[in-house]
Structure 1
Amino acid sequence: MRYMLLIYANEAAMANASNEATYQISAAYGAYTEALKKSGAWLAGDRLRPTQSATLVRMADGKTNVLDGPYADTKEQLAGFYMIEVADADAAIAWAARCPAASSGTVEVRPIWELTEYPSER
């Protein structure tokens, strides 16, 4: 089964981290990613740019509303993700617990809704 590991972190703390701390965090993520790949669980993953670079799009009354920059002022922001394929939720939770973000932020484990049937084209 496929799962998303959604990584939430404090952007301000990350931006203010020392060079040494940034290096250590990068090394920890590198080792974690390599472990995922070696296990065969890794499908995809990446870091996201800060929320200031985000664009929100909503439709209201048939009009497109676009808002640049962060929308919500929250303690943690979505900072990255991993898509993994493992046997069950327990295995996904075990991988989430190993993620560097689990010690300083939050890792949300979300099963992917597998689409097995698509509507026929007309």
Structure 2
Amino acid sequence: MSERKGPFKLVTVNTAPERAKRVIGRLIEALRGDFDIEHIDNCESIDQVVPTVTKHKPNVLFCASMWTAEEAEKIQTLARSVVPDIKTHAIPTGLQVERGPDGVVEYLVGRVPVLLES
């Protein structure tokens, strides 16, 4: 039996904090056997990224699918300005709209283990 990896402190950047909480809750549940992930906060705007990352020093940050590629890049750059080795991932723009929360969870379950192990 392999050891669970973590703990990982996760911050999300999502204008819909309740949806972020639900989707990430499902992700955490799906990966619980292998990873110890704690969703510690959500930023509802780009302006909240630096203060939130400064406060919590997370090691993982996800950008939700409502951000454009340019906004997601800015968010990730801001996060790295505070925590240089933070692992970041931007969910593709529009994924929530196209495939709904199930599609986002399925997408993340496929990508997050590789990100966390990198």
Shared fold per TM-score greater than 0.5: no
Q: Which structure carries more relative contact order (alpha carbon 8 Å, separation 6+)?
A: 1
Question: Which of the pair has more CA radius of gyration?
Answer: 1
Which structure is higher in strand share? 1
Place the TM-score, normalised by the shorter chain, in its bin.
0.3 to 0.5
Q: Which structure is higher in helix share?
A: 2
Give TM-score, length-normalised by structure 2: 0.32
- Using structure 1 for the length normalisation, give the TM-score: 0.31
